[in-house]
Amino acid sequence: MDTTTQIFWLFILAIPIACISWTVTHEEVFREPREWCIYRSQNGKKLLKRKFFYLFTCEYCFSHYITLFFLLFCDFRLLLSDWRGYVIAGFSLVFLANVYMSFFALLRQTIKKEKVEIKKIETDTNESQ
């Protein structure tokens, strides 16, 4: 693969990694298993058990494992064609996926803030009438 194609793949593969990582660690559909993992990560007696369950509650940590899956599934390497290409691709994908998730979090926060402001304006308008 030429470098331009690799960069294209990098930006595209980071999207499903970010999507899966965000959904599992933040969205309502996985709330119950996430709460169970949070409880186990905070109350486990063994360090290894606590750390294992924490992985399912942190989008950054979880994105490493989703990235590993996608690296193996797509056989994606970046810049080098040997094992070093997997390492470079892995960390690059994790970084970019977390940039995507940060932008998404900011976007959601902005939308939520605007909704609250609109509701306040509507409430003030209704009270003044």
Q: Which residues of the chain have pLDDT under 70?
A: none
Domain that holds residue 8: 3-102
Q: What pLDDT, on the 0 to 100 scale, is given for residue 83?
A: 94
Q: What pLDDT, on the 0 to 100 scale, is given for residue 122?
A: 84
Reading phi first (left if > 0) and then psi (alpha if -120 to 50, else beta), residue 61 is in alpha
Q: Is residue 63 part of a domain?
A: yes
The answer to whether the beta carbons of residues 98 and 18 sit under 8 Å apart is yes
Q: What pLDDT, on the 0 to 100 scale, is given for residue 106?
A: 95
Q: Is residue 122 part of a domain?
A: no
pTM: predicted TM-score of the whole model, two decimal places: 0.81
Q: Is residue 129 part of a domain?
A: no
Q: What pLDDT, on the 0 to 100 scale, is given for residue 127?
A: 76
Q: What pLDDT, on the 0 to 100 scale, is given for residue 90?
A: 96
Q: What pLDDT, on the 0 to 100 scale, is given for residue 8?
A: 96
Provide the Cα torsion 42, 43, 44, 50; round to 10°. Answer: 0
Domain count of the fold of the chain: 1
Return the residue matching tokens 């979880």: 62
Q: How far, in Å, are 13, 87, 121 from residue 10 at the CA level? A: 5, 13, 43
What span, in angstroms and rounded, lies between the C-alpha atoms of 92 and 104? 18
Q: What pLDDT, on the 0 to 100 scale, is given for residue 36?
A: 94
Q: What pLDDT, on the 0 to 100 scale, is given for residue 71?
A: 94
